[in-house]
Chain A
Amino acid sequence: GENVEQHPSTLSVQEGDSAVIKCTYSDSASNYFPWYKQELGKRPQLIIDIRSNVGEKKDQRIAVTLNKTAKHFSLHITETQPEDSAVYFCAARETGANNLFFGTGTRLTVIP
């Protein structure tokens, strides 16, 4: 099955700086890559996703890039704000499947 690795496990940045979280996956058949944000005590919520027919997707301060050849994808948050502090999970889904394989999470702390 698919194996998703996520780095770093913790990340601290100053408010206004950028944050980058990286994930790699093992199965070349994976074609869907969502990112979830989980604030303390709350449910994981989808913040952005990308499918393998595109290399980059952007939504305001958040962007995701995908390199299919290298089998890695990254989350980029620009102009970070304290409310961006949360745990972020990447995931991958194989073509035709419904279940996701999750990374182990990155705890992002934005220091005011």
Chain B
Amino acid sequence: DVKVTQSSRYLVKRTGEKVFLECVQDMDHENMFWYRQDPGLGLRLIYFSYDVKMKEKGDIPEGYSVSREKKERFSLILESASTNQTSMYLCASMDLQQPQHFGDGTRLSIL
């Protein structure tokens, strides 16, 4: 069974802080994704990665960056957190042309 683990379920940070959200998958998947989920807006893709050190912008990359130094780990970075980045963040992974599997999500609050 695919396991996608996000390091925190809940996180509270202050504006201007640098925030790291971590995601680890145990299935040797090539592709990993970061989404943000907001009421009425569904899941919006921030960034994705199709290989180590490779990344592609999604629909809403502004204010975010990512890092993929190892195949199993994909990190989302908020360089300088702002209140409009308060949201639920979901990580997903998938094998080539297969379904995506999600983590439990991190509910991030920026005060």
20 contacts between A and B (CB under 8 A): A1-B59, A6-B42, A42-B104, A43-B90, A43-B105, A46-B100, A46-B101, A49-B99, A98-B50, A98-B94, A98-B97, A99-B45, A99-B56, A101-B45, A102-B42, A102-B43, A103-B42, A104-B40, A104-B41, A105-B40
Contact at A104–B50, with CB atoms within 8 Å? no
Question: Does B74 reach chain A (CB closer than 8 Å)?
Answer: no
Residues of A that sit less than 8 Å from B by CB = 1, 6, 9, 32, 34, 36, 42-46, 49, 89, 98-105
CB-defined contacts of A100 to chain B, threshold 8 Å: 45, 100
A43-B103 contact given A89-B43, A98-B48, A99-B33, CB 8 Å threshold: yes
- Per-position contact with A for B74-104: 1 when CB-CB < 8 Å, else 0? 0000000000000000100010110111111
CB-defined contacts of B44 to chain A, threshold 8 Å: 102
Taking A34-B99, A46-B101, A105-B42 as known contacts, 7 extra A-B pairs with beta carbons closer than 8 A to each other, sorted by chain A number, are A6-B42, A43-B4, A44-B43, A46-B100, A99-B33, A100-B45, A104-B42
CB-defined contacts of A103 to chain B, threshold 8 Å: 42
Please report the number of residue pairs spanning A and B whose Cβ atoms sit closer than 8 angstroms: 48
- Chain B nearest CB from A71 CB (Å) reads 18
Question: Does B58 reach chain A (CB closer than 8 Å)?
Answer: yes
Contact at B42–A89, with CB atoms within 8 Å? yes
Contact at B40–A9, with CB atoms within 8 Å? yes
Q: Give the CA-CA distance A1 to B45 in the complex, in Å.
A: 12
- Chain A residue, CB-CB nearest to B102: A43
Q: Give the CA-CA distance A44 to B94 in the complex, in Å.
A: 14
Contact at B31–A98, with CB atoms within 8 Å? yes
When the two chains form the complex, which single residue of A44, A99, A101, A105 contacts B102, counting CB atoms closer than 8 Å? A44
Q: Give the CA-CA distance A105 to B94 in the complex, in Å.
A: 21
CB-defined contacts of A104 to chain B, threshold 8 Å: 40-42
Q: Give the CA-CA distance A107 to B75 in the complex, in Å.
A: 30
Q: Give the CA-CA distance A32 to B59 in the complex, in Å.
A: 19
